[in-house]
Chains A and B, each alone.
Chain A
Amino acid sequence: MGGLALCVLPLFAQGNYEIQVYGADTVAPGTTMVELHSNFTAQGQRYVIDGVYPTYHQEHETLEITQGINDWAEVGFYVFTSEQNGHGVQWVGDHIRPRVRVPNSWHWPVGVSLSTEIGYQRPQYSPDTWTWELRPIIDKAIDRWYFAFNPALERTWHGPDVRQGLGFAPAAKVSYDFTKEVSGGIEYYADYGRLFYFDSLHEQQQQFFAASDLNVSPDWEINVGIGLGATASTDHLIIKGIIGRRFSWHKASPVD
């Protein structure tokens, strides 16, 4: 599972709504995955800039609902919200995210999928109101190690960055299975700016999360982490949590 990454929203308006590196698997057909992403920006942008609210002490709650279509496709929907002193609970925007993956029958040595995400966010939370993302996903589990890489491309359809063209926003994850139930590792999220014409490091967004996955059941997904911004343009401290539950809509039969 994955979703809108950290940096869909541009400078000074980070998209800390769904902080997750995608794995290549898709939700099984006849199954719905419901996830709640809770992200709190402990240290972030403190000022209103160009009408965009500051991220400092924003609490973001994102509901993600993903429906498995078949054994190689799914579609996800997002509802983004924000809570902050002085602004109350606000609806931020919605996205839709179809995704396809390489079927198991192709026997590829790594998991590969491709998602595309389109959506709207209110200008108080992002000056770029309509955005599009294309996210290739590659992952691999080797013994106790897990590796995932999401070299995402982003495009603004409406807003100040509409002429920027494609932006490059990679994300990556390395984790280690300490036990069957507990894995821990590093997640990396970045927005380098325009593809082939990266912003200066000062203006790039880069963030490292120490994160842990709790594999308590095939039906549940639990991820927690704490992230530190590595550049001046990145929110400096974010605490994140994801809890997800799979619901199967067909009665399990031993003869299926």
Chain B
Amino acid sequence: MNISGRADYTVEIGTHSLELSPRTTIKTLCYNGEAPGPLIRLQSGKLVTIDVVNQSSNDEVVHWHGLFLPSNIDGATEEGTPLIGRGGRASYTFTPDPAGFRWYHTHTFAGHDLNKGQYTGQHGFLYIDPRENAGRYDAEVFLGLHDWRGQLLAADDGSMNPFYDVSTINGRVLGFGEPLRVKQGQRVLLHILNSSATDAHWVALTGHHFEVVALDGNAVPSPKSVTMLRLAPAERVSAIVEMNNPGVWVLGEVRKHIRAAGMGIVIEYAEKNGEPQWQQPETLVWDYAQFAAAPVAPAANGEAVELPLVFRSKFTGHGDMDHWTINGKSYPHTDKLILKQGQRYRLLFKNESSDDHPVHLHRHLFELCELPGERSTRGILKDTVLVPANQQVNVEFVANNPGATLFHCHQQDHMDMGFMMLFQYA
């Protein structure tokens, strides 16, 4: 369907039945009848028009996650992007930037309704091809991690948290659907997205390593081979896998109960068959710092203005989700930070809660500067970073994209319960 008659892509929001497994079919909102939605592949710097048609019974909005877009089309109502009413349509024309692995998803309030917002199937891959392709690989595969059929249950922290029945890769449980077929000697570039509303995921591929080349779509200074990946909600990892161990393997969640809930996919070499093999890792391992540039002197591009942001929880009953504050206030009462164009800022994320928080800055990239344990780091550009419980992470960014800019925890339950803040340009 081409709404405007000139759209390069059309995204239709509607309710569809998705067969996650032979035993589980769910009715959910998704894009173009599938979850993940269709891959939108754009050329860096080449003007594009995307139409969005809302066939759902909710007002909706689509956020283009990781792109440098004007506030009125970035896809957050808090920034000024209009909602698309029920039965309505919108047309977005923009020049895609920056190049790399991005994604698009709903950005609406869910609250206590775990059939709305990011709990649904409203997410899809978006890739902006660079003008010059620097990578060397033989095949490129997009994998999306998602959790389904959530419900609020009492958690050990004394409050209600979402728990899920089913977890999938590309909308299918492990063993259901087509395996990923590869050939010996291939270098396969995996673009992995965690679109879960609330949960971080660790993934491993038995018998293989991941050479991590990009985080959140941005090339890392020091690509490194690792045995497992961790992706917090909204994070992406691009990694090359050398297919050098013929067999039938499982790429899946490292934690047993989530893999048992379905999060996995079979990797099948040509002319190999048999039961997919899985070797259980004993620990969870991940560290952003291993992909950083060699230690260098602090950034030379001007003095960064420090902005401390303190995250705390607010208990509202054992029968409710915690509420959240940034510097003591919950959205929409959080302070509006005023940015000066061209200024470099250092955001001090002080997590004084017992939950991890994958915090996301819209319309900008930031550079990781200091990780827990006072470890300095440089060169890793991201739009989402996980701030561990009771730890501090510092990042820097340049205010170079005027307009209202939303900052929030990407856990749907946290952002719904106040963990958001708006940055404004002076």
Contacts and interface: CB of A to CB of B under 8 A. Distances in A.
Nearest to A25: B154
A126 B281 CA distance: 56
A144 B283 CA distance: 37
Interface in A109-141: 140-141
B320 interface: yes
Given A141-B154, A255-B255, A146 B318 contact: yes
10 contacts: A25-B154, A141-B160, A141-B317, A142-B319, A143-B320, A144-B317, A146-B318, A255-B281, A255-B282, A255-B284
Contacts of A145: 317, 319
Given A180-B158, A218-B156, A255-B281, A144 B316 contact: yes
Contact of A105 (B165, B282, B283): B165
B319 A140 contact: yes
Contacts of A104: 151, 153, 163
A141 B255 CA distance: 29
A25 B165 CA distance: 18
- Identify the interface centre among B254, B281, B315, B317: most chain A CB within 10 Å of its CB: B317
B319 A146 contact: yes
A231 interface: no
B255 A256 contact: yes
Contact of A255 (B149, B151, B154, B256): B256
Interface in B143-183: 149, 151, 153-154, 156, 158, 160, 163, 165
B280 interface: yes
Interface string B327-354: 0000000000000000000000000000
A223 B149 CA distance: 34
A24 to B, nearest CB: 11
A143 B315 contact: no
Given A141-B154, A141-B319, A180-B158, 16 more contacts: A25-B154, A104-B153, A105-B165, A140-B319, A141-B317, A142-B317, A143-B316, A143-B319, A144-B316, A145-B319, A146-B318, A177-B315, A180-B315, A254-B255, A255-B255, A255-B282
Contacts of B281: 255
Contacts of B257: 256
Interface in B267-309: 280-284
Contact of B318 (A105, A177, A253, A256): A177
Nearest to B259: A255
Interface in A135-189: 140-146, 177, 179-180, 183
A144 B158 contact: no
A215 B154 CA distance: 13
B317 A177 contact: yes
Contacts of B318: 141, 144, 146, 177, 180, 183, 215
A177 to B, nearest CB: 5
Contacts of A87: none
Contacts of B319: 140-146, 177
Contacts of A183: 318
Contacts of B158: 180, 215, 218
A197 B72 CA distance: 70
Interface string B247-270: 000000011110000000000000
B316 A255 contact: no
A107 interface: yes
Contacts of A180: 158, 315, 318
Which size bracket describes the interface of B in this complex? Answer: 20 to 34
Nearest to B254: A255
B280 A143 contact: no
A254 B256 CA distance: 9
Interface string A209-220: 000000100100
A107 B115 CA distance: 13
Nearest to B160: A141
A247 to B, nearest CB: 16
- Identify the interface centre among A142, A180, A255: most chain B CB within 10 Å of its CB: A255
Contacts of A218: 156, 158
B151 A253 contact: no
Nearest to B166: A105
A138 to B, nearest CB: 14
B26 to A, nearest CB: 12
A179 B158 CA distance: 11
Interface string A18-56: 000000010000000000000000000000000000000
Contacts of B160: 141
Nearest to B314: A180
Nearest to A144: B317
A177 B154 CA distance: 14
Interface in A204-256: 215, 218, 253-256
B107 to A, nearest CB: 26
A142 B112 CA distance: 11
A132 B319 CA distance: 33
A179 B160 CA distance: 15
Q: Closest 5 CB pairs between A and B?
A: A141-B319, A144-B317, A143-B317, A180-B315, A218-B156
Nearest to B322: A180
B283 A254 contact: yes
Interface in B205-221: none
Nearest to B321: A143
Contacts of A140: 319
B283 A255 contact: yes
Given A141-B154, A215-B158, A218-B156, A253 B317 contact: no
Contacts of A215: 158, 318
Nearest to B155: A218
Contact of A256 (B156, B165, B256, B316): B256
A215 B284 CA distance: 30
Nearest to B283: A254
Contacts of A143: 316-317, 319-320
Given A104-B153, A254-B283, A256-B255, A179 B315 contact: yes
Nearest to A141: B319
